């Protein structure tokens, strides 16, 4: 006799099967199971071979018509209630992730949740997803250089790396004070001093650009302001000493040099020394060094990287960097959407404006510029449509730009909020 005949040897609705879940036994009617034929127990009634039955249960006794399941017996009471009422309820004391795994095993869908439990279920699922996202976005890698938290925190793993190295105690004490401002009063004082010099350096750089502070020599050649030069040299010397000291006491110099914030620190001091070297080499007569002045100007512009040093003292800036790093998909979608919209509206505005002599939108490249500033809602007003059809297209361009920019921004903002909350909690 085949297994399909075992099930159907009696045609009445009084046929039963015996279910054994982790030692909990229950006799269930065929009619009750047939109400939900897509569930695991409902599919058992359609099996015609032992192999098919064993794909749905862990063991089977054909003589007793008993099916064995190695699952949570206490949760099976909720499964029985589901077959009787058609609704599933959250299990008390059971993790929401385990609950989802259990109902997936028994073939029950989330739509069968009763109204009294559905809101709580989705709230718990959202919390579980947020926690999982935090762990995955953090990389859960103790030695990863991509985590913004690890850039500023002297973790236990880093402290353990000092064991067995030269001057381990001294280096670890210096390292933790340099990396963790909350470690002690001296660490806080150093952090305040470092932040103050960063601000002084930025202010000096801004003041240096003001004509009132420019000075000239007897030959009417522009020279450096001595006061600003003093503050510039003081800040660079401090940043250099800080970088060298942190590199000397770092548990792993190679990993230290690969971290983004340390690369920024190096970029803030490197232009100064290269500029000094170029000034010493350029005597004003050598034709081979005719472009040294331009190189020096470019290097001086690189002092703007000092602004990024504020990220070492700001949880918000570090969270912003981490958000951009982990939002490559959303940022890519935003760029793609804008590119498509800009390409489409630039062509449309060109065809409706090219016949008008008053319009400046006479080429598609100019239309790109107009579409870019319109879709991003900047609107400089340097180029604008003048024909009625062009104004209609301009209105559509602005509305589409608002929608396109708003779509991925929500996900990016949510990621920033989570990074910032975690960073603030860590500090």
Q: Which residues of 139-171 are buried (b: 16+ CB within 10 A; e: fewer)?
A: eeeeeebbbbbbbbbbbeebeebbeeeeeeeeb
Rg of the chain (C-alpha set): 35
Evaluate whether the domain defined by 326-426 bears CATH number 1.10.287.70.
yes
Q: Report the chain's mean pLDDT, rounded to a whole number.
A: 77
Categorize the per-residue pLDDT at 199 as very low, low, confident or very high, splitting at 50, 70 and 90. confident
Please state the length of the chain.
Answer: 427
pLDDT for res 398: 92
The pLDDT tens digits for 160-180 are 566 666 777 778 788 887 777
Query: In Å, what is the CA distance from 424 to each residue of 5, 186, 209, 420?
Result: 66, 21, 36, 6
**1-15, 52-66, 299-313, 409-423: least confidently modelled range:** 1-15
CA-nearest of 147, 145, 120, 122 to 135 is 147
CB burial class (10 A; 0-12, 13-18, 19+) of residue 424? exposed
pLDDT for res 255: 80
Proportion of the chain above pLDDT 70, given as a percent: 78
**70-79, 187-196, 294-303: least confidently modelled range:** 294-303
Residues 6+ away with beta carbon under 8 Å from 372: 338, 342
Cα 116 from chain centroid (whole Å): 34
Instruction: Specify the 3-state DSSP secondary structure of 60.
Output: strand
pLDDT for res 5: 46
Q: What is the mean pLDDT of residues 272-290?
A: 64
Most confident of the ranges 39-43, 207-211, 285-289: 39-43
Class of CATH domain 3-136 = alpha beta
Is the per-residue pLDDT at 144 higher than 60?
Answer: no
Q: What is the mean pLDDT of residues 246-251?
A: 83
> Do 146 and 325 touch, CB atoms closer than 8 A?
yes
CA-nearest of 158, 149, 126, 131 to 425 is 149
What does pTM read for this prediction? 0.47
Report residue 220 as tokens: 């009417």
CA-nearest of 179, 167, 328 to 259 is 179
pLDDT for res 165: 67
Which phi and psi (to 5°) does residue 358 adopt? -75, -20
Q: Give the number of other Cβ atoms within 10 Å of residue 320's Cβ.
A: 16
Q: What is the mean pLDDT of residues 347-355?
A: 89
Give pairs for 25-32: CB < 8 Å, separation 24+: 25/66, 26/76, 26/80, 28/80, 28/83, 32/83, 32/84
Show me where the domains of the chain are located.
3-136, 149-310, 326-426
Q: What is the mean pLDDT of residues 137-152?
A: 43
Q: What is the mean pLDDT of residues 145-156?
A: 43
């Amino acid at each position: 006799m085949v297994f399909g005949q075992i099930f159907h040897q009696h045609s009445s609705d009084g046929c039963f099967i015996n279910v054994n879940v982790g030692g909990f036994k229950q006799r269930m009617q065929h009619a009750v199971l047939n109400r939900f034929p897509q569930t695991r127990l409902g599919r058992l009634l359609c099996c015609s071979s032992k192999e098919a039955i064993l794909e749905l249960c862990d063991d089977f006794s054909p003589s007793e018509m008993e099916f064995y399941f190695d699952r949570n017996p206490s949760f099976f009471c909720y499964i029985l209630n589901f077959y009787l009422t058609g609704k599933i309820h959250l299990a008390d004391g059971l993790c929401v992730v385990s609950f989802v795994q259990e109902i997936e095993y028994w073939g029950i869908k989330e739509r069968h949740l009763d109204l009294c439990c559905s809101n709580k279920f989705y709230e718990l699922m959202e919390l579980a997803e947020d926690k999982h996202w935090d762990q995955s976005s953090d990389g859960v890698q103790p030695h990863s250089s991509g985590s913004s938290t690890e850039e500023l925190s002297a973790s236990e793993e880093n402290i353990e790396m000092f064991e067995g190295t030269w001057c381990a105690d001294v280096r670890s004490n210096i390292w933790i004070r340099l990396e963790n401002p909350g470690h002690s009063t001296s660490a806080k004082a150093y952090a305040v001093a470092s932040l103050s010099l960063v601000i002084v350096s930025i202010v000096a750089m801004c003041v240096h650009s003001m004509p009132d502070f420019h000075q000239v020599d007897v030959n009417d050649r522009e020279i450096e302001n001595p006061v600003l030069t003093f503050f510039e040299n003081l800040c660079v010397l401090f940043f250099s000493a800080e970088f060298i000291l942190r590199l000397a006491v770092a548990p792993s110099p190679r990993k230290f040099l690969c971290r983004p914030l340390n690369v920024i620190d190096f970029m803030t001091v490197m232009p100064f020394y290269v500029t000094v070297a170029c000034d010493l080499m350029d005597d004003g007569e050598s034709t081979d060094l005719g472009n040294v002045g331009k190189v020096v100007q470019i290097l001086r512009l690189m002092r703007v990287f000092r602004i990024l040093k504020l990220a070492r003292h700001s949880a918000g800036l570090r969270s912003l960097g981490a958000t951009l790093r982990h939002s490559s998909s959303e940022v890519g979608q935003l760029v793609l959407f804008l590119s498509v919209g800009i390409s489409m509206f630039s062509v449309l505005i060109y065809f409706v404006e090219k016949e008008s002599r008053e319009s400046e939108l006479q080429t598609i490249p100019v239309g790109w510029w107009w579409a870019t500033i319109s879709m991003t809602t900047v609107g400089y007003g340097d180029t604008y449509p003048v024909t009625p059809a062009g104004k209609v297209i301009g209105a559509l361009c602005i509305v589409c730009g608002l929608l396109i920019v708003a779509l991925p921004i929500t996900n990016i903002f949510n990621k920033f909020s989570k990074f910032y909350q975690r960073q603030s909690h860590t500090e």
